[in-house]
Amino acid sequence: MEFTKMHGCGNDYIYVNGFTEEVSARKKPELVRRLSDRHFGIGGDGVIFINRSSQADFEMEMYNADGSRAEMCGNGIRCVAKYVYDKSLTDKTSVSVISSGQIKYLDLIIKNVMVKAVKVNMGSPILKAADIPVISENEEVISEMIEVEGKVYEMTCVSMGNPHAVVFMEDVENLDIEKIGPYFENHVRFPNRVNTEFVKVIDRNTVQMRVWERGTGETLACGTGACATVVACILNGLTEEEVTVKLLGGKLHIRWDRRENLVYMTGPAETVFEGEIEI
Ligand SMILES: N[C@H](CCC[C@H](N)C(=O)O)C(=O)O
């Protein structure tokens, strides 16, 4: 099987061309676990298959490193756009990509005939998703307390298609995320598990964020997590509508247009290497 290793802000996935590579759905979770392993496989935060779609230009089928599916992936979708353009699967500079039934629209930023960065319309945040039943702006309940391992944290839950718990704190640098992350991920509050963002507000246009991803663990960046974080910051009156999110692997620029109620994410997409692996 041929593959391409790509990343957005260090959030790295293995990309597989579903037009040419055939893998049965039944075998995918096990294959994903094997390929994602950083010692026994290629290594990555998960695997993304790029497929044909009748509703959008392309379909993105995303898997976490543990073989579970995710509905959406912000860093991944930018890399999908780079993949299809750089490999001439399209010559359009605006493309649509569907993932778990949700279509996103992407504008490619091109330099020397290659995609350098991508601006994505990530759609509207969902403040009352089925698995995140708490917040409602109208009812002004935007944050809630959660007890994790005997400590109480303040969090705001936002879905960007996939679920996020945004936890505000002063010291994200020294946080023992390997220890606390799994407790949030598997908390009874989240029957479908959750992605958790630990956030420090630096100023009205800048925040620092670390993430513990559902199904993968700590990653260097999370695009949907950065979007959810900015929505949570704005709802809590902590930032303006345009925010730079500083992550371990780089920066993402997020804007929540309140009038349109749409979240825009702009960030890099990079190819690292390509290869072939026996499956
Ligand atoms: N890293 C991804 C999100 C993966 C989310 C996944 N871990 C989930 O189970 O929802 C991003 O850039 O948006």
47 CB near ligand 1 (under 6 Å)? no
What is the 3-state composition of the chain as percent helix, strand, coil, each rounded to the nearest 5?
15, 45, 40
CATH fold match for the domains 2-119+267-276 and 144-260: yes
Q: Which two tokens stand for residue 51?
A: 């497929």
Q: If pLDDT is split at 50, 70 and 90, which confidence band does 130 have?
A: very low
Answer whether residue 270 shows pLDDT above 70: yes
Interatomic CA distance for residues 211 and 199, integer angstroms:
9
Catalytic, 233? Answer no
- Superfamily (CATH H level) for 144-260: Diaminopimelate Epimerase; Chain A, domain 1 (3.10.310.10)
The per-residue pLDDT for range 221-230, each reduced to its tens digit, is 999 999 999 9
Q: If pLDDT is split at 50, 70 and 90, which confidence band does 34 have?
A: very high
Q: Which two tokens stand for residue 83?
A: 């993949």
Residue nearest atom 1 in ligand 1 by C-alpha distance: 222
Domain ranges of the chain: 2-119+267-276, 144-260
Binding residues for substrate are: 11, 64, 74-75, 162, 195, 213-214, 223-224
- The top-level CATH class assigned to 2-119+267-276 is alpha beta
Of 27, 231, 233, nearest to 122 by C-alpha is 231
Ligand 1: residue of 162, 248, 252 to mutate (most ligand atoms within 8 A of CB) is: 162
Strand partners, 110: 115
Strand partners, 20: none
Mean pLDDT to the nearest integer, 50-57? 98
Can you give the pTM of this predicted structure? 0.96
Asked if residues 156 and 229 have their Cβ atoms less than 8 Å apart, the reply is no
Strands 195-203 and 144-148: unpaired
Ligand 1: residue of 192, 222, 248, 263 to mutate (most ligand atoms within 8 A of CB) is: 222
Catalytic, 222? Answer yes
The per-residue pLDDT for range 197-227, each reduced to its tens digit, is 999 999 999 999 999 999 999 999 999 999 9
Residue with tokens 């790295």: 12
Of 72, 81, 263, nearest to 254 by C-alpha is 263
Interatomic CA distance for residues 50 and 203, integer angstroms:
38
Mean pLDDT to the nearest integer, 184-202? 96
Asked if residues 161 and 100 have their Cβ atoms less than 8 Å apart, the reply is yes
